[in-house]
Amino acid sequence: MHNVNDILIEKEISNMKTSEIAFKVFYEKGETNELNCFKIPNLTLELTSSFLKYTSFWFFTVQECFSYLMKGCHLGFLKDFLAGTKNIIKRTEFLKQQDKNSIFYSYFFNDIAVSLALLKKHHSAYQVVSRTHGFETYKEQAPFHHIPFQKFKLKYIDYILPVSKQGKNYLINLFPNYSYKIKSMYLGTPSHTHINPFHASIAIVSCAYVRSIKRLDLIPDALRLIDFPLSWTIIGDGEDLPKIKSLCKELPENISVNFLGNKSEKEIHDIYKTIPYSFLLSTSSSEGLPMSMMEAISFGIPIISTGVGGCNEIVTEETGILISKDFSSKNLKDVIIEFKNSNLNHSEVRVNIKKFWMQNFNCDKNFNQFLNTINQ
């Protein structure tokens, strides 16, 4: 049995202390860039010694290269991929110097998880665990629709914890031989007593990294069809933001748009405490189970979302409205009007939405369940 105090996660729960080992695979909240969280000493790793030690892994790497080439990737991408593979091995060499009684944990099912799998393959005494979200679960979110080393990770990692039941089912359908180690485990957001204030006028909020998969560029066409006053607030930044700003310049006078840029978790909470929002709007083509939705319902804010990934596990009849992934501008306009005239657009509903959050997405409750699972 492993000591809970050795679990390498950022958040302290009850009287669990942070591990004394000066190494964290990834922060639970995932807010900090991976490169800043994972600091590897200046290790010297000669290619010949690593090749001999990890021959089978290099064989898998060659197979992955061929898979990418078959999908039409360019040589620059392959060069970066091979550089990342060398870092995987360097990271593994560092990991094996750590206490064998520790439980190593990765927040994402990415290259760090590959290092954990490689560690486990060569040193079975270690216990290794990884969550998985959207981009590392669903191949349609990955470059060239391919996720490298997926079967390798599933074979050697002790527990794979998708953040949604849909993600669990997706992986089990692809890799039924490993179904016994794939367990859905919800994330959560911190507990608080606040509820977003209600106002009768329609005010939409979107909170996301503004990139193509989020499809915020589809929203202005729907808003153009609205004939009553409405506001739309975008929290977040990204490569598609200039495009969104350009599209919003063409909206009619009854539609106002506010761009707030990137905000910290605390800043988002301060906004939700004071500024009334009718609902959170998500139009993604693919998702895991978004933290932005958990934050919104913790304040009692309803959600309108595409029914992709695990979104139907948080957007229910009790908390919001699901729309088709392939919605039209008219579809979205009709749903906004439907919401305006529905029972969801009332202040008392927000108390029930917050209760749903408390039962399903409270971080203290879910993190304790997480600890109990991986410490078995």
- Alpha-carbon Rg for the chain in angstroms: 22
Q: Is residue 292 part of a domain?
A: yes
Q: Is the pLDDT of residue 338 over 80?
A: yes
Residue-wise pLDDT tens digits, 362-371: 988 998 888 8
Q: Cα 137–239–148 angle (5° rounding)?
A: 25
- Please tell me whether residues 34 and 163 are part of one structural domain: yes
Query: Which CATH number covers residue 322?
Result: 3.40.50.2000
Q: Is residue 109 part of a domain?
A: yes
Residues 6+ apart with CB under 8 A from 187: 131, 163, 289, 291, 294, 361, 363, 366
| Neighbour tally for 319: CB within 10 Å | 24
Distances (CA, A) of 136 to 15, 160, 231, 340, 367: 32, 12, 34, 36, 21
Q: Which pLDDT band holds residue 332 (cuts at 50, 70, 90)?
A: very high
Q: Is residue 262 part of a domain?
A: yes
- Please tell me whether residues 76 and 183 are part of one structural domain: yes
- Please tell me whether residues 150 and 283 are part of one structural domain: no
Distances (CA, A) of 227 to 24, 127, 202, 263, 337: 52, 58, 12, 31, 10
Residue-wise pLDDT tens digits, 19-76: 222 233 333 333 333 333 333 333 333 444 555 678 889 889 999 999 999 999 998 9
Q: Which of 108, 109, 118 lies closest to 59, judged by CA?
A: 118
Residue-wise pLDDT tens digits, 162-211: 999 999 999 999 999 999 999 999 999 999 999 999 999 999 999 999 99
| Helices and strands (DSSP H and E) totals, the chain | 14, 9
- Please tell me whether residues 26 and 144 are part of one structural domain: yes
- Please tell me whether residues 209 and 172 are part of one structural domain: no
- Please tell me whether residues 183 and 239 are part of one structural domain: no
Q: Is residue 193 part of a domain?
A: no
For the chain, give the number of residues. 376
- Please tell me whether residues 37 and 146 are part of one structural domain: yes
- Please tell me whether residues 280 and 150 are part of one structural domain: no
Q: Is residue 60 part of a domain?
A: yes
* Domain coverage including residue 79: 4-188+363-374
Query: Which CATH number covers residue 29?
Result: 3.40.50
Q: Is residue 108 part of a domain?
A: yes
- Please tell me whether residues 9 and 152 are part of one structural domain: yes
What is the total count of domains within the chain? 2
Q: Is residue 222 part of a domain?
A: yes
- Please tell me whether residues 281 and 339 are part of one structural domain: yes
Q: Is residue 19 part of a domain?
A: yes
| pTM for the whole structure | 0.81
* Average pLDDT of the residues of the chain: 85
